[in-house]
């Protein structure tokens, strides 16, 4: 054997010690993760939120830490931690994989713990919970989603030490022996939640003694597959205020009778009996025997939704508790019956829900245990029900409970043209009728003067009259979105539809196929704060809302607006609190929008979603309005050189066209006048025949000035004794017909036109009109025939004539009237005038 030196022996000892320490350390498993970085302060309570970090070990905390709340849910922990702060009061370990515990004395470690949540872990047997049974300060305990072994009953006394427990959430096992978990005769537990909604509950039958140890105020047994209940299950719960036995699909309304019998001596306020009938079974009837005991309670809220309820026995509603404030029978198949007229008997009812009466589930049949009380019952019961279908008989007066404030009648597919309706004792403030088929709303609605909120969205409504909302003075919020009101609103040029709703503050016209809105649509509304006209087809903003000083937001998103010129911008409110949404419009980066973009640039806070709103340039490029200052600068540069030129050019073209058109009209004014009246004679042949006459009504039409009236009546009328017939306007014009039309008719019906030419004649507008109309008649109707005969009464009259008349003297026949002292010449003048008039006979 080789001898070792002392130094070698010392080195070997050190090596063994180090090796021992390494082996020891290799077997010491870490119990926590340092520096988890999940501590933050929430309010005045120091909380560590370490949820959803995929932790397999808890964070390391100092035992002296002042942390009182720790959240470790949704991780991968397998044990209940024992190294957490001793002052801990709140611990959430839900949604982990916990099935082990490091210390049976955990109640001494967390002696101050009040809240413990162990929902949805890997706990396979309920006896596991006995390790926490001595946490005497625990007030809340949640154990949902853990009974993977499907125990049929709770082990006795597993929660015997939880003397302060007030709220227990636990899976419902088959026998449902909740009281056996506690050793004491009476437990102060107030809230018991065994619902299978967020856990597991398989209680098929509730026996009478399962809750005897408790004085509950809240009990949730929904989603528990309960088929039957014994009378007496709830008889010991004198303080019970809330009970939910919904979604026990085989329980039926017969279960309601047993439950309500036990509630007669309780403090029940809320009873939920939703979905206690199978989804695809026959329709059900609510009988008086189902609810008869409820009248002895102080129930305030009753929920009977989703039960395929079709009819109610007469007398059910009047026998409901007088304290009832809310009744919900939504998602059923309730038909109209005489019980509808008994709704007003519920004098204290404040909320009524009758929504979703359209889902029949007729694609499948499923037998239910309450088959004997379904709608297949014979005539001995069916004769009690009377059908008052509104589709067969119109009912114009509705009687409502006088305290009813909220009415929900959504998605019932009411297919009515709403005409004049009267309501009695109506104090409804909130009315929900969305999802129906009110295609026409004419109104008016009388009696509901306190309505503040109406939802008529998604009703396929195409017309709402100016009278429909007239008698709703307190209306504050109106939702008529998702309808077809575009054409109806476009016709409201005087703002009558909403004109009587002066308190309207929210108006929703979203998705109504609106193309254009009249400028005065909202002229009578001063208090609107929110106006939603999104998802329509508006191409130009024309509504004047400058007077809406309280308007905070205008939603014009997803329309077809390409521009908002100065006229449109001037119609918007100018106060600082006003905002607008133009997202989804095809705005153009054009000169027409320069004013608008400049306005936005100066008030960028007014346009919401600035960075997501874009405009298109003429080359197709897109610009975000987040860079609106750059857009303004670009448009100012591109538009400035063209604007003056466009204005000057447009003005010159307009002036030139105006002058040209004026000269043409002035030059051919008499032709135009004549053609107008000639056309009128063709269009209205009964007034005057337009064909050329061979035989005329008058031999001559005498045209003279009013100042020469004496000469005409004293001299020319003498010629009528020689079988000549003259038309003189003072005598022969037809009263009630336009002067110009009388003149053209007289000229057209006379063989010759005699003009008594004096200085007064030249100054008379109508004399000159008669002269020019006669010329047009000669040219256009008589083929250039000489029908004008001028009588010159004054020697100097030719010198006073305008140049436009001199050629008439040269081309037409005329006679000069001799002086008063030439008697022989006067006789010759009258003979020549007669011959000239007879010349064409």
Q: Please, what is the Cα angle at 739 between 735 and 743, to 5 degrees?
A: 105
- Return the residue matching tokens 């027409």: 592
Quick one: average pLDDT of 253-264? 92
Q: What value does the mean pLDDT take over residues 680-709?
A: 68
Q: pLDDT at residue 679 above 70?
A: no
Task: Report helix, strand or coil for 482.
Answer: coil
Give pLDDT, residue 722.
72
pLDDT above 60 (res 681)? no
Give the position of tokens 């020019």.
Answer: 772
pLDDT at 673: 60
Mean pLDDT, the chain, rounded, equals 83
Q: What string of H, E and C letters represents the secondary structure of 349-363?
A: CCEEECCCCCCCCCC
Q: What is the DSSP string of 229-271?
A: E-TTSSTT-TT--EEE--S-TTTHHHHHHHHHHHGGGS---EE
Least confident of 371-380, 416-425, 750-759, 784-793: 371-380
Q: What is the DSSP secondary structure assignment for residue 338, as one 8-state letter?
A: G
Partners of residue 367 on adjacent β-strands: none
The two beta strands, 39-42 and 587-588, are unpaired
The crossing angle, in degrees rounded to 10, of helices 669-683 and 739-748 is: 80
Contact 554, 580 (CB under 8 A): yes
Q: Give the whole-number percent of the chain exceeding pLDDT 70.
A: 84
Q: What is the 3-state secondary structure (H, E, C) of 698-745?
A: EEEEEECCHHHHHHHHHCHHHHHHHCCCEEEHHHHCCCCCCHHHHHHH
Q: Is 60 exceeded by the pLDDT of residue 604?
A: yes
At residue 155, the pLDDT reads 86
pLDDT tens readout for residues 592-601: 888 889 998 8
How many helices (H) and strands (E) in the chain? 19, 42
Q: At what angle do helices 669-683 and 765-776 cross, to 10 degrees?
A: 70
What contacts 24+ positions apart, CB below 8 Å, involve 374-377? 374/281, 374/282, 374/283, 374/284, 374/285, 375/282, 375/283, 375/284, 375/285, 375/310, 375/311, 376/282, 377/285
pLDDT at residue number 12: 45
What would the mean pLDDT of 388-410 be, rounded to a whole number? 73
> By three-state DSSP, how is residue 813 classified?
strand
pLDDT tens readout for residues 132-150: 887 888 999 999 988 666 6
Judged against a pLDDT cut of 60, whether residue 603 lies above it is answered with yes
* Residue 687: band (very low, low, confident or very high) from pLDDT cuts 50, 70, 90: very low
Please report the pLDDT score of residue 85 as a whole number: 84
Average pLDDT of span 298-311 = 94
Q: For tokens 């009128």, what's the residue?
A: 680
pLDDT over 90, % of the chain? 40
pLDDT digit string (tens) for 622-664?
899 888 898 888 888 877 655 566 777 778 888 888 888 877 7
CA angle 349, 452, 303 (to 5 degrees): 30
Asked, as a colleague might, if the bond just before 444 is cis with ω within 30 of 0, I would say yes
Q: Are the C-beta atoms of residues 97 and 77 closer than 8 Å to each other?
A: yes
Residue 530 has pLDDT above 50, yes or no: yes
Residue 674 has pLDDT above 70, yes or no: no
Which pLDDT tens digit goes with each residue over 70-90?
999 999 998 888 888 888 899
pLDDT tens-digit map of 734-782: 888 888 888 888 888 888 889 888 888 888 888 888 888 888 888 777 7
List Cα–Cα distances, 497 to 432, 469, 708, in angstroms: 20, 7, 63
What is the structure's pLDDT at 479? 97
Give the pLDDT confidence score for residue 163 in this predicted structure: 84
pLDDT at 20: 43
pLDDT of residue 281: 79
Reply yes or no on whether the pLDDT at 403 is more than 70.
yes
pLDDT band at 220 (very low <50, low <70, confident <90, very high): very high
CA distances 433 to 231, 401, 474, 480, 491, Å, are 40, 18, 18, 10, 25
Mean per-residue pLDDT for 782-795? 82
pLDDT surpasses 60 at 510:
yes
Q: What is the pLDDT of residue 514?
A: 96
Per-residue pLDDT reduced to its tens digit, 162-206: 888 999 999 998 888 898 889 888 889 999 999 999 999 999 999
pLDDT of residue 577: 92
Quick check: pTM over 0.85? Answer: no
Burial of 84 (0-12, 13-18, 19+ CB in 10 A): buried
| Average pLDDT estimate for 245-254 | 93
Q: Does the pLDDT value for residue 37 go beyond 80? A: no
What pLDDT, on a 0 to 100 scale, did the predictor assign at position 666? 63
Selected residue with higher pLDDT from 583 and 736: 583
pLDDT at site 825: 74
Q: Are strands 614-616 and 622-624 parallel, antiparallel or unpaired?
A: antiparallel
Tally Cβ neighbours within 10 Å of residue 239.
Answer: 14
The pLDDT of residue 668 is 63
Residue that wins the pLDDT comparison between 239 and 651: 239
Confidence of residue 694 (pLDDT cuts 50, 70, 90): low
Q: What is the pLDDT of residues 438-461, one digit of tens each?
A: 999 998 989 999 999 999 999 999
pLDDT one-digit tens code per residue, 342-397: 898 999 999 999 999 875 444 444 555 554 444 433 334 333 333 333 434 455 67
């Amino acid at each position: 054997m080789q001898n070792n030196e002392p130094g070698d022996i010392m080195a070997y000892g050190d090596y063994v010690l180090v090796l021992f320490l390494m082996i020891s350390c290799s077997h010491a498993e870490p119990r926590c993760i340092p520096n988890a970085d999940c501590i933050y302060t929430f309010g005045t309570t120091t909380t560590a939120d370490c949820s959803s970090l995929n932790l397999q070990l808890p964070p390391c905390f100092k035992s002296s830490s002042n942390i009182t709340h720790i959240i470790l849910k949704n991780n991968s922990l397998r044990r209940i931690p024992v190294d957490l702060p001793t002052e801990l009061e709140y611990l959430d370990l839900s949604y982990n994989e916990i099935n082990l515990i490091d210390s049976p004395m955990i109640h001494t470690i967390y002696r101050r713990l009040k809240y413990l949540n162990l929902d949805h872990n890997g706990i396979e047997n309920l006896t596991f919970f006995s390790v926490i049974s001595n946490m005497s300060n625990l007030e809340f305990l949640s154990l949902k989603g853990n009974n993977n072994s499907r125990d049929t009953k709770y082990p006795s006394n597993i929660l015997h030490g939880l003397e302060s427990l007030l709220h227990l959430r636990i899976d419902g096992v088959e026998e449902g022996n909740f009281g056996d978990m506690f050793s004491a005769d009476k437990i102060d537990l107030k809230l018991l939640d065994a619902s299978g909604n967020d856990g597991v509950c398989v209680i098929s039958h509730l026996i009478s003694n399962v809750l005897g140890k408790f004085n509950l105020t809240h009990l949730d047994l929904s989603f528990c597959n309960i088929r039957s209940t014994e009378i007496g299950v709830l008889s010991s719960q004198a303080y019970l205020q809330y009970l939910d036995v919904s979604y026990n699909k085989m329980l039926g309304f017969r279960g309601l009778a047993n439950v309500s019998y036990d509630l007669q001596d309780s403090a029940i306020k809320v009873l939920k009996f939703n979905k206690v009938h199978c989804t695809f079974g026959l329709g059900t009837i609510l009988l008086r025997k189902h609810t008869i005991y409820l009248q002895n309670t102080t129930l305030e809220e009753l929920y009977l939704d989703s039960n395929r309820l079709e009819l109610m026995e007469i007398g059910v509603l009047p026998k409901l508790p007088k304290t009832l404030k809310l009744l919900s029978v939504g998602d059923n198949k309730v038909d109209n019956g005489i019980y509808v007229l008994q709704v007003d008997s519920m004098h204290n009812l404040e909320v009524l829900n009758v929504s979703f009466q359209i889902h029949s589930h007729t694609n499948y049949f499923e037998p239910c245990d309450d088959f004997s009380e379904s709608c297949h019952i014979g005539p001995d019961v069916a004769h009690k029900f009377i059908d008052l279908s509104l589709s067969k008989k119109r009912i114009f007066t509705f009687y409502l409970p006088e305290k009813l404030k909220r009415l929900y009648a959504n998605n019932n597919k009411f297919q009515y043209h709403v005409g004049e309706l009267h309501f009695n004792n109506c104090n409804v403030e909130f009315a929900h009728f969305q999802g129906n088929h009110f295609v026409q709303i004419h109104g008016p609605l009388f009696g509901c003067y306190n309505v503040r909120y109406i939802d008529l969205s998604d009703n396929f409504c195409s017309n709402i009259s100016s009278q429909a909302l007239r008698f709703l003075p307190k209306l504050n919020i109106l939702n008529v979105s998702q309808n077809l009101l575009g054409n109806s609103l476009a016709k409201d040029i005087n703002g009558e539809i909403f004109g009587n709703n002066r308190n309207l503050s929210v108006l929703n016209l979203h998705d109504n196929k609106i193309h254009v809105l009249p400028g005065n649509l909202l002229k009578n509304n001063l208090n609107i704060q929110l106006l939603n006209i999104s998802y329509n087809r508006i191409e130009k903003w024309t509504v004047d809302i400058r007077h809406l000083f309280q308007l905070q937001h205008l939603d014009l998103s997803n329309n077809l607006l390409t521009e908002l010129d100065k006229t449109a911008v001037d119609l918007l409110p100018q106060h600082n609190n006003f905002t607008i949404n133009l997202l989804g419009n095809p705005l153009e980066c054009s000169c027409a929008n320069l004013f608008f973009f400049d306005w936005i640039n100066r008030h960028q806070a007014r346009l919401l979603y600035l960075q997501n709103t874009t405009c298109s340039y003429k080359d197709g490029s897109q610009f975000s309005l987040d860079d609106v200052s750059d857009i303004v600068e670009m448009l100012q540069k591109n538009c400035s050189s063209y604007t003056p030129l466009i204005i000057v050019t447009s003005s010159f073209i307009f002036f030139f066209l105006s002058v040209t058109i004026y000269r043409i009209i002035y030059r051919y004014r008499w032709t135009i006048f004549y053609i107008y009246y000639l056309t009128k004679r063709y269009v209205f042949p009964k007034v005057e025949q337009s064909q050329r006459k061979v035989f005329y009504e008058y031999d001559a039409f005498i045209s003279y000035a009013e100042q020469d009236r004496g000469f005409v009546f004293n001299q020319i009328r003498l010629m009528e004794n020689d079988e000549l017939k003259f038309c003189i306007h003072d005598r022969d014009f037809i009263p009630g017909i336009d002067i110009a039309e009388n003149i053209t008719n007289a000229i057209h019906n006379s063989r010759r036109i005699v003009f008594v030419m004096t200085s007064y004649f030249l100054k008379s507008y109508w004399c000159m009109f008669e002269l020019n109309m006669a010329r047009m008649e000669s040219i256009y109707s008589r083929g250039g025939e000489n029908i004008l005969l001028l009588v010159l009464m004054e020697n100097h009259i030719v010198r006073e004539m305008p140049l436009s008349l001199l050629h008439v003297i040269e081309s037409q026949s005329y006679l000069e009237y001799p002086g008063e002292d030439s008697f022989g010449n006067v006789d010759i003048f009258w003979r020549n005038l007669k011959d000239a008039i007879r010349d064409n006979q």
